[in-house]
Chain A
Amino acid sequence: MVEKTIEEINERIRDGSVNVVPADRMVEIVSELGAEGAAREVDVVTTGTFGAMCSSGAFLNLGHSNPPIKMQRLWLNDVEAYAGIAAVDAYLGATQTSDIRGMEYGGAHVIEGLVSGDVIDVRATSHGTDCYPRRNLNTRLTLDDLNQATMCNPRNAYQRYNVAVNSSDRIIYTYMGTLLPNYGNASYSGAGCLSPLCNDPNYETIGMGTRIFLCGAQGYIIGSGTQHDPKSGFGNLMVTGNLKEMSREFLRAAVFNKYGVTLYIGIGIPIPVLNERIAANTGVSDGEITTDVVDYSAPSRNRPVIRKVSYADLHSGTIDVGRKEVKTASMSSLFMARRIAETLKESIERGEFFLSRAVDHLSLYTEFKPMKQTEGIPLVKDIMLKDVNTLGEMSTIEDAARVIVEGDFTHLPITSDDGKTVVGMVTAYDVSKAVAHIGDTKYEILNDIMTRRLVTTTPDETIDVAARKMEKYNVSALPVVDGNGKILGLVRSDDISSHITRVKYEEY
């Protein structure tokens, strides 16, 4: 039985006798010496990960201008920061994009720029108050000019990520990068056996208050992150650290093509090897950490899982998906993850980094719920016109003209002569064209002028699907029919255009 305390390990850091091992080396040590031997031998295991972590940003305090301003809106290099807190405090989010340059520049670039010592253009507006009379502010600041610049990331260091593939026949652009059609590539993320949370899956040492390596600085774990989902193996962390102590080497702005801006964050967590159980956990290998291959072409929250793979499979360069051998590539950097684990190891060995005891545990049971949607995407039946006039295909054009004029509408579904099924559609425009030619024997009954290549919808189709049909076939209304082709109503593009705007936005 090996039992150590964090205090004992910190004592060894102080006297220089501590034995620190990066997590990828620990795999061999545990398999050679066993968990007990490894626990005796090794005091600290260092982990590391370097990947795109969208849920990142920084609180900034700009100091007070003279005359003072209560900033209501604030832009840093034309990227808006959230200023809805006290007068000169703001939160700059990594994925916020530039008002001027759009997706090619965003909050992440401003943060990287600040860390690199760049001068940042600051613009703020306010309505002005008695105590903060100023309404407009323009200035230029560097990181040194800020009172505080505190990185605070609500969700970082996911235990593992899905592997993204695309089964459709068109290219798609995602937060996992570009996915080529027909399983053209598989994109993954995560550092496998170096990943911090994979080395302490029961959060025995990693908890609230744990001191960590964060982008080159010493930071802390605040608690579990948003969407923390330990039961499914998707635990994550909320972390904080001083931006002023960070280095660009471990913090980099990135752009995912046609998706947007994100920030690559480097995190390393030291795990004190207090006993054999912890030693055994840090011995986890790439082959033992599995994740799901998920088809990202499905436009739904519940995307189909195609198979399970291990990080050893992913690192091999190809995985089998169906009968196809698919090339894998990582969006996160294993090279940098190793560098972080190594850098953290060195600073512990030099006596610059001491371990902290967690003040509270992370939850092992939190569940990640889907969004409660009080307003679903409406169905055709929710917005269709139910009282629709129809005419049989043998009715005359004059009949149609009368019905259209009396009813004050523009679309008239045409049924078979027995009235049972919809066979065509006539618009006010078709009728007026025909009326202009009246006397011309070609046009007498509706059958002569109706549109026959009929596109229809059903009551239970969502309105975005109906809208896409209208767009594709270039029509402005669709008859709503049941399974037998009987008319139930009519849906018009005007009625759904307001909803469509929102649906398109959500797809983005």
Chain B
Amino acid sequence: MANVRLVNLTKQYKRGAEVIHALDDVTLDIEKGEFVAVVGRSGSGKTTMLDLMGLLLRPTSGSLFIDDIDTSKLGDRQLAQMRARRVGFVFQEYNLLSGLNVLENVMLPLRYVKDGRKRGAPRAVELIERVGLSDRVRHRPTELSGGQAQRVAIARSMVNSPSLILLDEPTGAVDTETAQQLVDLLKRLNQEDRVTIVIVTHDLDIAGQASRQIRLKDGRVLTDERVGAAGAGSLGVPVA
């Protein structure tokens, strides 16, 4: 069973008379536990693909399965539940709510699942510890460094124990050393929890550490290689 399955997935935007093929007929499977890097030039469709997989966008055509559920058949409420339970999201910036402290930010997705706060509070505390921020639980986002803020965002993405975490250039705003620490953290979570990780990055060094690299160009998959460096589910076999 594939964790994520894209079948002829297409997203088009209309700008006046012009049609932009942000994602063009992409078909691929991502297995549970893979550590996937998505690379490509700016405008190649990386964010579009991630937003589609995160159910933030509806495709123009094609279908998307998550844990074998056909998401095209779901209504708005069910999509919201899928986002809350099965997918975690980390963005490049504006990840945290400034009005909430670290713990409250990590607990945010618990609000949107039944009994979430009651059952999820210990999990939130545990995750904050795992990302190394136990001494920052009551801090506000403005009191954190960029790297710490992204750790909080990562902890938040994990709080509902999703099978899949999507990260859109999470290291774009931090220095190389901090970026590497974040990647190390992601690798650890990938290995310990068998959570699937899909990370969009410009950084070839980071991409090289993934178990699989998908390169996009003009909304199409240019290359898709399994490299076997990391990832519990990696096969180490390049795919055409």
A binds B: no
Contacts from A to B (Cβ < 8 Å):
none
Contacts from B to A (Cβ < 8 Å):
none
